[in-house]
Structures are given as C-alpha cells and as structure tokens.
Structure 1
Amino acid sequence: MRVSNQMTVIAAYEQRTPRSRKHFEEVAQVIPAGATRSLNAWPPHPVYLESGAGMVVTDLDGNTYHDFLANYTALPLGYADPDITRALAEQVASGTVHSFSRTGERELAELLAARVPSVDKIRFTGSGTEAVMFALRLAKAYTRRTAVAKAEGGYHGTTDEVMISVRPAANLAGDAHAPRSVPEMAGIDESRVRETIVVPFNDIESSAAILRAHSDRLAALILEPVLGVGGMIPADREYLAAMREVCDELGIVLVFDEVITLRIAPGGAQEHYGVVPDITTMGKIVGGGMPIGAYGGRADLMALLEPRGGTDVYDARSGGPVLYQGGTFTGNALSIRAGITTMSKLDAAAITDLNAKGELLRRSVTEAVAGTPVALTVTGIGSLFNLHVGVKKVHTFRDLRGIDAARQHQLFIALLNRGAIIAPRGMGCVSTCTTTEDIEFFARAVNESLIDITGEC
C-alpha cells in the first residue's frame, strides 16, 4: 500500500487490517496483550496470520506479505516445505510423542555431532531456553562454581540467570567497559542478578579483566557469536578467540549459544570463526519449524548426564546421573523428524546459497537507502540481517543507543503496509525459497518506507 501525504503509516495500517483489529480486541479478553508471545504484541494492534507457503503469508484481512523474519530465523526452508509437510504427516500416523525414546533421535544426534565441531555427544530439549538452562547447569556441576557470565545485549532465553542486561536502560547499565547486571524484567530473583556477571561484547581487554576478577566463582561464559536481540552484531573473530583463551586459562566452561547462528555454516558460527566452545546450545532450525532445543559438547562434560550404575534414575546418591534431565515432550517424534528433514536439506551448498542471498540483501538495502533522508544501517552475517534506523555504524551493543525508536517502529509498520515482514526491532533473515526478485522487492520497500516515515516523528 502506497501511503499518501495525507495519510500516516499508522492510519494506513489500521485501514488495511480491520479484521486483525477486531480479533485483537476479542482475544485480548482472554490472552494478555492479545498474544501468547510478547514479541507478537505491538501498537496499535498486531497482525494475525492464517496461512503461509514458501515465504509468503496471509493475514485475517487477506493481505499477503513477504516474510523476511521466518519466525525469528526458525524456518530456513520457509513455510510448508513439502518435504517437511510429508515427513510430519507420515510421523503423525505412527504417533507424535511416546513413553520411551524413538530411534530417530540417534539420526538427528549423529547428523549434528558430525557437523558441529564442539559436539561429541548431544541431548535434546523442548526449546532453546531449556537447552541453555541445562548447558549452564552442566557447567556448574562440572566446575562446582555458582556464577555465569554473559555479554551485554546477549539473549539466551527466559530463565532468571540469563534474563540479565539483554536490553538494559542506559541509566542503569553502568560503564561501557564494566557493565552492570540489570534484571530485564520484574520477578527476576535478586540472587541470580548477583550471580550473573556481564561483559562488554567485542571488547577483549575489558571482558578478560572482568572474567579474571570473578574467576573463582565463574562456571561458564555464554556468548552468542552474533548478537541476535542485541542487533544482529557479529563478533570479531579476535574477540571470540580471546575469550576461548581466557576461559582455558581460568577453567571456565565456554558456551556458544548457536540457536540463531547455526545457519551461517554447516557447523555453525564456530566453524565460520574457527573458535570451538566446550558446549553448544541449539534450537530453531534443528527442529524444522517444530519446538526443539539441544545442547552438546565434550564427552567428559556430557558424561555428567550418564547414570552411574544404580536403578534410581532421579537420584545421583543411588547411582543416577549427576545431572538429571526431564521433559515430557523432549525428543518428540515430530520435532525430530522435521529436524532430520531440515538439516539434511540444509547442506553446505544450501547454506552457501543462503549466505549469498543474505549478502545480496544487505548490500541491496544499503544501496537503496543511500539517498533517503533517514539514516539507516544494516548489520548481519550470512543469511541474517538487522535494520537500524537513525544510526550510521553499529559494532557494539552500546551503539544501539543511537537508534531512533519512534522511527524504528514506524519503519516496521510502513513495511507491513508494503507487504514485508521483519521484527519490530528490525531483525530479519532470508530462506532457501527467497529469490532475487524478493530481495529487490524488499530493498525497494525499505526505501519507500523510509520516505513514508520522513517527517512523521
């Protein structure tokens, strides 16, 4: 929808989504904010989707969109991939979840262990959040230390110990070289705030100094090789390599959160950067659009999940594992089957093609917006990107403070009006079904959307 000079982007949005508006008013009576996922609630009201195929989705009002978000990178093959659809239909006929493990777990585990350099053995979970929870618990059990470190701007799911300094307010965050540990929301246990140490992303000297200062109590350092929620900012290779060296020196378990970055190389960001962690957490793409998480690492670490000869699988005192893992839907047949199909199709050639599309998109958008009156920077790596309104350079999390928040939201709405989906914060990705024409469409849409929002804020 082209926006006239007499119509704001918000007014145009409301005009094209009246059924979504009505649905929002009704569903908000039973679901807070009208959405189970907080990310899916935004003013003036969310869009509600009904179907998707490839990278095109349709909303309640019949509007179609090119989806450049793919459920926050979880769908590298796009919506309703025929091979995944077929695999899921076959699996449903023989059961979705079972009391005991099924043989498919082995196939997906072997596939991932063969690809990801850090993985000797692997366990599946119900989500990426659970994968991180167990990975950090494993590090604590192994080191017998109680604290963990994470990067400012890093997002690792929603447990208390990692919902710290994800997007901290500037007045609370402290010095850039010594960030404070700031709880991300109400209800975070204060003891976890004290036991979560924050380091500045891409700052070698300051991060190393902080780790050394707390080394006697640090069990793990968890890092996203590319900050996701923190702006799709790639790490410097030198930073990751330095953190590897410091962790080795101090006996700290290095954990890479590759829930998002596993798609940038067959073996994930650790293959791309040539830096191997002790434990890797995974999710999103390894489930092929179904709920899943996984964590894997060195055999000696993963051995803490093995029983020790007793019959009580719950209790280490009577022979059970040092670290017990539960989960009714962990390793469920649907997620495993979809994961096998997806990861088999997402081979080295497919990832090379994905990365080329991502590079073309970032370059095309940068060129398209060069003459617009609103500053915009594109960050990302491989098939991942993020649009930042109001800033000219982004290298660290603190650089995001320069973003024009009002115009960032206006850009999100303006792109919806033109039939393009990204995250409200500007995050996006490409899929195997994304074409050159799709990328050209998106670059034009960004250019025109920036023109639409000029003078509105």
Structure 2
Amino acid sequence: MARTVRSGRGSKDSFARARLVFPDGTSRVTIVRDPMPLYVERGMGSYLFDVDGRRFLDLNGNFTTLIHGHAFAPIVEALTSQLQRGSCFANPTESEIELAELLCGRIPRVDRVRFVNTGTEAVLFAVKAARTFTGRTKIAKFEGAYHGAYDWAEVSLAATPDNWGDPSAPKSTAIYRGTPPSVLDDVVVLRFNDVEGAHRLLSLHAQKLAAIVLDPMPSRGGLIAPSADFIAAVQKTANKNGILVIADEVLNLRQSFRGASARYGLVPDLVTMGKIIGGGLPIGAVGGRKEVMTVFDASSDRPLLPQGGTFSANPLSMIAGLTAMLHLDHAAFAHLEELGNIVRDGMRRVISSRGAPLCVTGAASLFRIHPMPRIPNDFREAFPTPAEAALMRRLTHYFTENGIILPHGAAASISTPMNRVDADLIVDVFTGFLDRNQDMLDAIEVRTRSEPSADPVRER
C-alpha cells in the first residue's frame, strides 16, 4: 500500500510561523502533532487536503461535527444566501424558530430549546438550569467523560490510576492546577456501567444533588455502550430522589434520528446538543421538559436563570444547522449505520483472524479501537498502559501515512458522503497495521493494568 510523507514543507513552514504567535504553536489542546500538525488547505466531501496537496479520508470530522463531510453543497448554498442578507443581528430571526421546531419535533423530551454557541455552554447552562430548578448545588458525573471546558464538568476528566481513588468511591480530581477545592467538593464521581455504585452514591448524596450529567456513550470515556441495567438504575434512582437527568448528546445526538437517549432507553429532563445541529458552524443548545426550561423565561422583569450571548442563535449557525438536520433523514441514518457496521465488523473479523489483543467499540456512525482483547466496561478498564498508549499512537500514525485521519484517544466518525469503498479502505489499512506491527502487539499481550499512561487526550 502506498504511503504518504508525514509532514510536508507547507505544514513545516506553517508550524514555524505558528510557534511565534501561539504558546505551543497551536490554538487548541486537541491539535494532533506527529511530530507537527498537518495544516489543512480545504475539505471536500469525506476528504481533507493539506497545504502540501495531499488527500486524507477524514474520520475526525472536526471531532464528529461534520456528519455531512466538508463543503456540503446544500449548506454552502444556504450560507451564501444568508451572508448576502446579513451575518448576525440583535433581533431574532425565523431561522432560529425553524431549527428549534425541528429539534422539539424530533428529539424526545425536548419541549423547549435555548441556543448557545458551544457544547461547553450547553452543559454549563444545563447544570445552571438544574441548580435553579431544584435549589441544590451538587452534580454527579462519570469518570473520564468529557462535557466541555466548564469547571464542574471537567472534574475527573483526566483521572489516572495515580489519583482516581477507590473503585467503589471514585475521587474527584482536578484537570488543572488552581481548581477551587469547592468545585471538587460539589461533584460526585461515578463509574460508567456500575449499577450498584451509581445507585449507592446517588442515594447517598441525593439531598444535595441537582443533576446527574450522563453521556449515553462517552467518547473519551471509551465509546462504551451502556448496559440496560445501568441506564435503568440511574433513571430510577434519579427520579426517586428528585435528581434531574441531563443527557449530554453534544456528540452522540448522531447515533439515531431521535438521538442517543432514545436508542438506549434514557428519559432525560434536559438534553444538551451541539456539533451536528450546527452544520459545521459554532453552536450549542439546551433543551428539555417545559417545566424545567421555564427557568429561562424572561417574559417577566428578571428570569430565574439569565442566559444570553452575542452570537447565540446567529442566523448563519441556524441556517447551516437547519439545512444539515433536514438532510439527516431516516435514509441518511440507515446509510451511516450500515457503513459503521461494515467498519466495526470488518475490524473485528481481522482481529479474530490474527488473534490480535485489540477490540472495537462504538455504534451507529462511531467507532473506537482499544489496545486490549476484551471490550472495557468503563473508563478505568479502557485506560491504557504505556505500551498500549504507544501502540495507539503508532496506529494513528500508520493511518496518517496511509491517507486516513484517525483520531487519537477519541471517537472516529463516518460521514454521509462516505461509501463502501471508503469503509473497505479503513478495514484494509487496519489489516495492514496489524500485519506490520506484530512486535508491538506482542508487547501488550501481557500488561500491568495499574500502569498509568502519560498521554491524556481531550476532545470536543
């Protein structure tokens, strides 16, 4: 199989310029350097083209945002038309009503919506809404799950074996130095798919818990499917104790026509949305039960929870998002599901035939490869040893060499422009990796699970 050169002259020159203006030469922590970033010149359909003219099948899609790929013609046309009429206004537009109507009509338990600019803001305001509605201050979340760059939501995002504490009572850990101790005290950390632990810890802190924030299949947490018993335990315990359930579907709304909660039987009080609902432009949204969403009601002199934003519900994001969602019909989701199954099943067959110590998780248009023979049950089980982390870096590097952008430590995503040829290519490249890296595969067959990795990755 033909290989590409890792870093071309154009990317090297761009990175040299970037290092003069950015703290580490990049503008966000999620930029991959191998050993430096690939600078993109343009995207078209399911492919990226870098500044050196090389083409890559894009399985990142700006961290799962671009479900229709790059430069999706209907979105380009709609945005061009809107730009000629204006990019943003202090007044509302009809496009925000249309997108809200679509979301309320499609996503269960979304009776009312408020638009914001990012997934982080969506979670931030969902947590605030839960606190306002219940009068309580604490929240519960799951170890390793990413919910944006909000102090409380970041607790135990980057926990490691060195600090994550007792399996039955995970410790609240900080992601950055200077995190106020009060933030850690106000977050109850749970383990994903731990039925008994979720029931016990939620019950123990019930009188102070405003909400539990749950991504039905957390990407950074391993893209692991929730068990039916786990979803039922969380739902029952929360309902019994007046704890609101916040379903964070910023990433996983793409799991079905009606979202991820509907797929896994979760019945939330609030839903946070983003990524695919913006058609490639910045967006976030909080939706939920009418009774809870009344905290945002500003028809009186002062709402219980003020929420605004200069660019919230801007017409460009509204138009792009509406166009993207209208083209995500049942046929589109069936196509994504089919390709996702081809990739996951194909990789699993290759793993089985080679006896490789790897596994594949995910659903619908998402997948993630793990350097371990058994599918992990939660973040702790998915946490890589140094040898496993090195193998995954090599896997990402190999895919790049062979013309595919594969996210490291995050969900890989299928987009609607992809086809069977693209799916087969992914499996073929994965097969080539296994055949050419037997020495590294052998090194991870015997491993010490307590060894921490020095390679934490954040995404979204």
The TM-score bracket by the shorter chain reads over 0.9
Deviation at 1:375, TM superposition (A): 2.3
Aligned partners of 1:274, 1:388: CA distance in 2, in Å? 26
**Contact 1:373 / 1:451 at 8 angstroms: preserved in 2?**
no
Matched, 1:346 2:292: no
Deviation at 1:271, TM superposition (A): 1.4
Matched, 1:197 2:181: no
**Contact 1:52 / 1:80 at 8 angstroms: preserved in 2?**
yes
Aligned partners of 1:21, 1:191: CA distance in 2, in Å? 44
Distance change (3 Å), C-alpha of 1:17 and 1:190: farther
Matched, 1:140 2:131: yes
Alignment of 1:306-455 (within 5 A): 306-307=297-298, 309=300, 319-372=301-354, 374-402=356-384, 404-425=388-409, 427-455=411-439
3-state SS of 1:450 partner: helix
TM-score normalized with structure 1 length: 0.93
3-state SS of 1:124 partner: strand
Deviation at 1:351, TM superposition (A): 1.0
Distance change (3 Å), C-alpha of 1:449 and 1:18: farther
**Contact 2:156 / 2:189 at 8 angstroms: preserved in 1?**
yes
Letter in 2 for 1:429: S
Question: C-alpha root-mean-square deviation of aligned residues, in Å?
Answer: 1.6
Aligned partners of 1:156, 1:119: CA distance in 2, in Å? 19
Deviation at 1:229, TM superposition (A): 1.1
- Gaps spanning 5+ residues in structure 2: where? 444-460
Distance change (3 Å), C-alpha of 1:18 and 1:294: same
Distance change (3 Å), C-alpha of 1:424 and 1:116: same
Partner of 2:449: none
Letter in 1 for 2:226: A
3-state SS of 1:228 partner: coil
Aligned partners of 1:96, 1:168: CA distance in 2, in Å? 41
Letter in 1 for 2:350: A
**Contact 2:151 / 2:183 at 8 angstroms: preserved in 1?**
yes
**Contact 1:220 / 1:253 at 8 angstroms: preserved in 2?**
yes
TM-score normalized with structure 2 length: 0.92
1:23 to 11, 14, 19: 14
Deviation at 1:395, TM superposition (A): 2.1
**Contact 1:13 / 1:413 at 8 angstroms: preserved in 2?**
no
Matched, 1:257 2:248: yes
Matched residue pairs, number?
439
Partner of 1:63: 54
Aligned partners of 1:32, 1:413: CA distance in 2, in Å? 24
Q: Write the deviation string for residues 131-159 of structure 1: whole angstroms up to 9, x where unpaired.
A: 00000000000111111000112110011
3-state SS of 1:414 partner: helix
3-state SS of 1:33 partner: coil
Question: Percent same amino acid at aligned positions?
Answer: 35
Alignment of 1:247-286 (within 5 A): 247-286=238-277
Aligned partners of 1:353, 1:86: CA distance in 2, in Å? 24
Q: Write the deviation string for residues 360-398 of structure 1: whole angstroms up to 9, x where unpaired.
A: 110112223334475221100111111112443222111
3-state SS of 1:39 partner: coil
Deviation at 1:436, TM superposition (A): 0.5
Aligned partners of 1:408, 1:373: CA distance in 2, in Å? 17
Q: Write the deviation string for residues 300-346 of structure 1: whole angstroms up to 9, x where unpaired.
A: 1111111253xxxxxxxxx2101000210100111000111011110
Letter in 2 for 1:165: S
Q: Write the deviation string for residues 27-81 of structure 1: whole angstroms up to 9, x where unpaired.
A: 1111122221211143411111111111011112211101112111101111111
**Contact 1:372 / 1:447 at 8 angstroms: preserved in 2?**
no
**Contact 1:131 / 1:281 at 8 angstroms: preserved in 2?**
yes
Q: Write the deviation string for residues 206-247 of structure 1: whole angstroms up to 9, x where unpaired.
A: 111001111111100000000111111121122112211111
Alignment of 1:213-228 (within 5 A): 213-228=204-219
Aligned partners of 1:292, 1:187: CA distance in 2, in Å? 29
Aligned partners of 2:438, 2:346: CA distance in 1, in Å? 21
Deviation at 1:399, TM superposition (A): 1.3
Letter in 1 for 2:360: V
